[in-house]
Structure 1
Amino acid sequence: MENLWSDGDAKAAIARHAAKGINEDLALRVYTTRLLGGEPRLVLHGGGNTSVKTRMSDITGTEIDVLCVKGSGWDMGTIEAPGLPAVRLAPLGELKGLQALSDEDMVNVQRCNLLDSKSPNPSVETLLHAFLPHKFIDHTHSNAVLSLTDQPDGEALARDVFGKRAALVPYVMPGFALAKKTDEISRAHPGVEGLVLLKHGIFSMGATAEEAYVRMIDLVTLAEKRLAKETRKIFAGATLPKAIATAAEVAPILRGLMSLPARTGGREASQRFVFEFRTGPEILAFVGGKEIARYSQQGPVTPDHAIRTKNLPFVAPAPEAGKLDVFARDTKAALEKFAAAYHAYFARHNGKQVVAKKELDPVPRVVLVPGLGLFGLGNTSKDAKIAADLAETTVAVIADAERLGTYECIPEPDIFDIEYWSLEQAKLSAAAEKPLARRIVVVTGGASGIGAATAQAFAREGAEVAVLDRDVSKVKGLGIACDVTDPASVRAAFDKVAATWGGVDIVVSNAGAAWQGRIGDVDDATLRKSFELNFWAHQSVAQNAVRVMRAQNLGGCLLFNTSKQAVNPGPDFGPYGLPKAATLFLMRQYALDHGGDGIRANAVNADRIRTGLLNDEMIAQRSRARGLSEADYMGGNLLGLEVTADDVAQAFVALAKAPKTTGSVTTVDGGNIAAALR
């Protein structure tokens, strides 16, 4: 483990924070916390914390002793001073005399003693930091330390590796009891550099920020060197099909099977998840191992992971290419067994709780697919990435643990206590979901104009949005370069969306362009070119969307931009209006043929939008032709209002939210009776 401390960077951090009125102790605490948080082998997604004991002024101007400790929700890799809220130290120290303290009372005491009531909740391990006498304290979930201690003889191994440099703490659930136990062991070993929490992580302590940080690096390096001595081969491979299906083929099937059925509203209303796929040599060796049912089903490598990954991952059957129906059937049966096992796990331990818990859903958050890789599941793409990151870390830790001996984590009752820990569950359930959360949306022509406004509108509603366009260089988020007139390009784009997030729920087929010409004079090449983009591209997009949606079996929504030209043609706009009219009827055919699949199809009929098809030059030309100002032309509708790209976007969103509407055309033009439909 590389020591990244820099005297120059430390001095710069002190100066930068001093300009904001922040003292040197806290400045250096921020600096070394970032060093630790930037190394994923030490800290991953909130899995660690740091503190410093210093002095600050309270509201009266009196200087008092405080503990600045990592606050809930802050990432150690990017933390700033507000992420280390100051808590009055003396009241925390007085809690040592208590024999017991509930988690809720502990949190209340900590919040009551914040110097700033607006600060985030201090870490659940605040009392551990407060009870130890050292000025600077660092805590990580080092992969190497976990591989060393996640063993049947982990204590003996740790004692051999760390000797007198670190004291060992048996596993105790984080909170008041762990703080008391750690304090007891620290007082019995006053000269140690660190504390190794068996099957949990490691603490290092020091009089300065540099000393605590360097001790962490040195102790972790000892564990890494011990693991490096082991060279035995692990994960003997199981027999797998010669040809494995792709992630794009497998993910929609998994996503559909793992969506929770809705009580009302049909398939489309099901509670679904967003996926994140990972693969590589190490992952493939892990998921393809002959003994995967043993080493993958022990539990999390460190307790904190259970909050994000649940107690166990789901091991799917190996998906043979060309036999996806068999994969779907076998996966469904395996998931039913997984759910039954989860219900039994909950029943086994819930009866032993002082206060009964409410059972969580039985859907796994990590899926291991032999021959393919692994998927992380979450309510958002961010949550799915977190689950996948933790799963990758689990692969690395278990691989080293198995190379050294036999992987063994904390006992099942302790896993249950962490998974159903009220303090951590409160973090995950605090935020209310937006209307289109967990929905995966594809917008074609989404890099500009109506498409860009539509992509942004769906993102504001909580959806994960993929933009398909020829040029996606300026697209924020998932942009996929795609020529919608090329069926192969469209298929590849939809496969990428499915492999990235697990499937597709809503598609806005928006890409188009306006070719002009008198229909009696226009050449065939122009008309055919317009049909390629304004009709055949919509068919290609819709076909691929339906392909993925049917694999999910969750229903879906197809939305088409048909324009008013489809029903109210304008002079010299035949090359544009004819394919648009065909696309309107294409929409209705999808509504008719795929309603039985739970797939809705609707269209938006828009007109006079100053963007995309109707640019400034065309507006000026049409205004002059009618003897109108541009303002009068753009507002030349029954309401006298100019219609914007966002107005069209909101129409698409409204149709996406209408679960019992299909075959409908929504007019967005401010009022044009000639273009109005029933």
Structure 2
Amino acid sequence: MSVLNRWSDAEAAAAVAHYGAQGVSEPLALRTYSARLLGADPDLVLHGGGNTSVKTTVTGLLGEAIPVLCVKGSGWDLGTIEPPGHPAVRLEPLRALRALNSLSDEAMVAAQRNNLIDPAAPNPSVEALLHAFLPHTFVDHTHSSALLALADQPDAAAVCRQVFGERVVLVPYVMPGFALAQSCVDLYEAAAERAAASGVELEGMVLLKHGLFSFGSTAKQSYERMIELVRLAEQHLATGNRLSQPAAVPERPAPAAALLPRLRGALGRAASAAGARSHWLLDLRATPLARAVVDDGRLADWARRGVATPDHVIRTKAHPLVLPAAPAAGDAAALEAWSASLAMALTAYAANYQASFSRQNDRVGGIKKPLDSLPRVVAIPGLGLVGIGKSAAEAAVTADIAETWATTLLAAESIGRFEPVGENDTFDMEYWSLEQAKLGKAAEKPLARSVVVVTGGAGAIGAATALAFAAQGADLAVLDLDGEAAAAVARRCGSRALGLACNVTDPLQVQTAFAAVAAHFGGLDIVVSNAGAAWGGRIAELPEADLRASFELNFFAHQHVAQAALALFRLQDTLPCPAGAAGGNASANQAASAGAAGAGEGVSGRLGGQLLFNVSKQALNPGPGFGAYGTSKAALLALVRQYALEEGGAGIRVNAINADRIRSGLLTDTMIRERSAARGLSEADYMGGNLLGSEVRAEDVAEAFVALARLERTTGALLTVDGGNVAAMVR
């Protein structure tokens, strides 16, 4: 932890000029600038946390000046906030609410919305009244890790008074809302009188177990006070003594790629048993900070203490799940024992969560409905902290907060004892409707929670396919021989997408790439095996090297990819080797029956998986001079059918696309010009030479892959995408 003063007068002036050109006032421009400075520092705020405000005026319809509070709105992140992220609320009606003895959450939200200058603006922060009641022009609020290490002490008030003196107001923990706003302003006014008598100027407020406020007459003053107060906290923490109590963990633990898919599968089975969606994504943090917590003998005790600030509970739950230490690499028996322990650990976690919910719901009159009882953070000694989410981005947010918890915990323990809010207050925050609203209730996209690998992902079809899956909510890993090109496509697929260099004809590179995918996302759901190339020449005269090269890329590479994918699918579902692989002789009819019984997602809590292949029309309608390509693609079609036959019983669906005449690396613009000229056709007529008379695009192939991925009761299918080619029709 080490916050920096990032204020720049030149940058502030530039922000005023930039936003001023858009009609934004100077106070709001400076508010936006300093809010973004706060949001850029993860030691101050994380992922939508914190809030900021400025009191200014706007001009009404009749030209009158209206005093307003421009306060952070719901859904905005301080790190990326723009002027609309501080919606203007009429100030005087908000301040008039102070005369009330109480105000329900619903009435508070209604009052704030009713006084918005722009009725379409987002809801003002739940702490808007606190900002309104304070007299200062600029007010900043953060959840500084250093401050929380002081505020989460058993004697937090005494510690904070020692560190900050009379420069701050100390506020005992009160849940956000009207009551907190009233408490803060009452304590502020009493402290202001004492400060005036002693010649001290108040600079901020410490909300014990919660966070830090600073304020001032200018944006710069409020921001710099925040930085200075946090620095004082950091200086005090620097006097602490961090002592570790190492736990017994293997010197060389099993790799994340071996452990995370097993954890993901266990989570899926637990979720499915509870009637929830079975697919979750994981984000591992194996940093020295994370390891310092998970490898300490006090981990179980620390995990029971709670969250660093109640604001985090909606994303992390109140406690992480602590698993047994990671097994040593190469110890198969220990790995199986560790895998077997997952179900018991998840069951115990759910039972504890449900018992806590029952206690707390009785306390509040039985009015709450339980949320799911799955953990959102998992601590694995020897490995690290794992964040869990419905997407890679959400899992990363959870993991970020888990690391902040670790930072705060270790700092707090170095000067005393980490003692955050207790079960009652944590429950109230987790089940507070205004807090849950921060997570949003938007419907998930059709392929959300899915991890998708696309090979040949930098080519025309591969890139279009990756983007199409991303548009449907999937998280992407893009593999290509050209690693830089793969990374470029991945960047277009989302902030957490992965781009990897991989020669799919090399089984070791394929295994390495899939291990990286498992370590990054926690597992795998869908593979689009798309990489391919065409070798030309009459088959009788074709050099053997060309034929072998074609089979290496157009057949064996798909086999390498399928084997690597199936290995991860089996880890997730903890499936043994199939009987056939161990010498069994189950009949084809038995295998087909097993497939029919287990093809759907979630059967018996399995995650299953999908293999999708780009086969090409050459498998059905070979052309002269393309024997090397056609024969290898025909072999690939047979491979597709064999996998569908053998893997249906594991809930794994296997399908393929039969595409033709797509602009790509196989059919370049130069080739199109030459072929159309040789046939006396325009390029448009050549590319539209099908029953529909329309050119088939890479995006059409991509949409077909997505369609197959969504067909939950289809396996062994070959979907044609060629605009209509009678000779290539399957039947």
What residue ranges of structure 1 are gaps of 5+ in the alignment? none
Please give the secondary structure, in 2, of the residue aligned with 1:520. helix
2:230 maps to 1:220? yes
Please give the secondary structure, in 2, of the residue aligned with 1:72. coil
Per the alignment, residue 109 of structure 1 pairs with 111
**2-structure distance, mates of 1:510, 1:343:** 46
Per the alignment, residue 138 of structure 1 pairs with 140
Q: Which moved more, 1:208-217 or 1:462-471?
A: 208-217
Structure-2 change in CA distance of 1:262 and 1:655 (3 Å): farther
**2-structure distance, mates of 1:319, 1:242:** 10
**1-structure distance, mates of 2:82, 2:685:** 53
**1-structure distance, mates of 2:647, 2:178:** 58
Q: Return the match for 1:500 from 504, 520, 540.
A: 520
Contact 1:260 1:272 in 2 (8 A): no
Please show how residues 118-267 of structure 1 align to structure 2 within 5 Å: 118-190=120-192, 191=195, 192-234=202-244, 236-259=245-268
Contact 2:271 2:374 in 1 (8 A): no
Per the alignment, residue 440 of structure 1 pairs with 451
Please show how residues 592-607 of structure 1 align to structure 2 within 5 Å: 592-607=645-660
Per the alignment, residue 306 of structure 1 pairs with 313
> How far apart are residue 624 of structure 1 and its match?
4.4
> How far apart are residue 8 of structure 1 and its match?
2.3
Per the alignment, residue 541 of structure 1 pairs with 561
**2-structure distance, mates of 1:650, 1:29:** 44
Per the alignment, residue 484 of structure 1 pairs with 504
> How far apart are residue 263 of structure 1 and its match?
7.0
Structure 1 segments, 4+ long, off by >4 Å, are: 260-264, 624-627
User: What amino acid is aligned across from residue 434 of structure 1 in structure 2?
Assistant: K
Q: Which moved more, 1:438-447 or 1:23-32?
A: 23-32
Per the alignment, residue 633 of structure 1 pairs with 686
**1-structure distance, mates of 2:471, 2:610:** 18
> How far apart are residue 214 of structure 1 and its match?
1.7
Per the alignment, residue 24 of structure 1 pairs with 26
2:370 maps to 1:368? no
**1-structure distance, mates of 2:186, 2:126:** 19
**2-structure distance, mates of 1:573, 1:59:** 74
> How far apart are residue 415 of structure 1 and its match?
0.4
Please show how residues 43-62 of structure 1 align to structure 2 within 5 Å: 43-62=45-64
Supply the RMSD in Å over aligned alpha carbons: 1.8
Q: Return the match for 2:631 from 578, 581, 597.
A: 578
Per the alignment, residue 5 of structure 1 pairs with 7
> How far apart are residue 328 of structure 1 and its match?
1.1
**2-structure distance, mates of 1:445, 1:16:** 43
Per the alignment, residue 421 of structure 2 pairs with 410
> How far apart are residue 60 of structure 1 and its match?
2.8
Residue deviations 1:397-423, cap 9 Å, x none? 100011111111101011011111101
Contact 1:46 1:76 in 2 (8 A): yes
TM-score (norm 2): 0.90
Please give the secondary structure, in 1, of the residue aligned with 2:268. coil
**2-structure distance, mates of 1:244, 1:561:** 38
Residue deviations 1:263-315, cap 9 Å, x none? 79xx9x95311111111222112101111000122111011100111111111
Per the alignment, residue 580 of structure 2 pairs with none
Structure-2 change in CA distance of 1:355 and 1:63 (3 Å): farther
> How far apart are residue 172 of structure 1 and its match?
0.4
User: What amino acid is aligned across from residue 482 of structure 1 in structure 2?
Assistant: C
**1-structure distance, mates of 2:435, 2:619:** 54
Residue deviations 1:383-441, cap 9 Å, x none? 11110110111111100011111111101011011111101212324211100000000
**2-structure distance, mates of 1:626, 1:15:** 61
Per the alignment, residue 591 of structure 1 pairs with 644
Per the alignment, residue 37 of structure 1 pairs with 39
Contact 1:150 1:198 in 2 (8 A): yes
Per the alignment, residue 704 of structure 2 pairs with 651
Contact 1:260 1:270 in 2 (8 A): no
User: What amino acid is aligned across from residue 297 of structure 1 in structure 2?
Assistant: R
What residue ranges of structure 2 are gaps of 5+ in the alignment? 196-201, 492-496, 574-606
Q: Return the match for 2:81 from 79, 82, 86.
A: 79
Q: Which moved more, 1:210-219 or 1:620-629?
A: 620-629
Per the alignment, residue 526 of structure 1 pairs with 546
**1-structure distance, mates of 2:179, 2:451:** 44
Contact 1:287 1:369 in 2 (8 A): yes
User: What amino acid is aligned across from residue 239 of structure 2 in structure 1?
Assistant: K
**2-structure distance, mates of 1:650, 1:27:** 44
User: What amino acid is aligned across from residue 59 of structure 1 in structure 2?
Assistant: L
Contact 1:505 1:556 in 2 (8 A): yes
Contact 2:242 2:411 in 1 (8 A): no
Structure-2 change in CA distance of 1:419 and 1:114 (3 Å): same
Q: Which moved more, 1:454-463 or 1:470-479?
A: 470-479
Q: Return the match for 1:352 from 363, 366, 373.
A: 363
Please show how residues 298-337 of structure 1 align to structure 2 within 5 Å: 298-320=305-327, 321=329, 322-323=331-332, 324-337=335-348
Q: Return the match for 1:88 from 90, 97, 117.
A: 90
Per the alignment, residue 585 of structure 2 pairs with none
Please give the secondary structure, in 1, of the residue aligned with 2:58. strand
Contact 1:261 1:270 in 2 (8 A): no
**1-structure distance, mates of 2:550, 2:726:** 26
Per the alignment, residue 302 of structure 2 pairs with 295
Contact 1:111 1:117 in 2 (8 A): yes
User: What amino acid is aligned across from residue 432 of structure 1 in structure 2?
Assistant: A
> How far apart are residue 83 of structure 1 and its match?
0.9
**2-structure distance, mates of 1:645, 1:6:** 48
Per the alignment, residue 515 of structure 1 pairs with 535
**2-structure distance, mates of 1:631, 1:182:** 72
**1-structure distance, mates of 2:52, 2:677:** 69
User: What amino acid is aligned across from residue 392 of structure 2 in structure 1?
Assistant: S
User: What amino acid is aligned across from residue 646 of structure 1 in structure 2?
Assistant: E
Per the alignment, residue 594 of structure 2 pairs with none
Residue deviations 1:610-631, cap 9 Å, x none? 2232222333343345444333
Please give the secondary structure, in 2, of the residue aligned with 1:375. strand
Per the alignment, residue 465 of structure 1 pairs with 476
**2-structure distance, mates of 1:11, 1:442:** 46
**2-structure distance, mates of 1:665, 1:358:** 46
Contact 1:450 1:612 in 2 (8 A): no
2:293 maps to 1:286? yes
2:436 maps to 1:425? yes
**2-structure distance, mates of 1:18, 1:650:** 44
Please give the secondary structure, in 2, of the residue aligned with 1:605. strand
Contact 2:525 2:610 in 1 (8 A): yes
**2-structure distance, mates of 1:659, 1:614:** 32
Number of residue-to-residue matches in the alignment: 675
Residue deviations 1:106-148, cap 9 Å, x none? 1111111111112111111000001111111111111111001
Q: Which moved more, 1:27-36 or 1:377-386?
A: 27-36
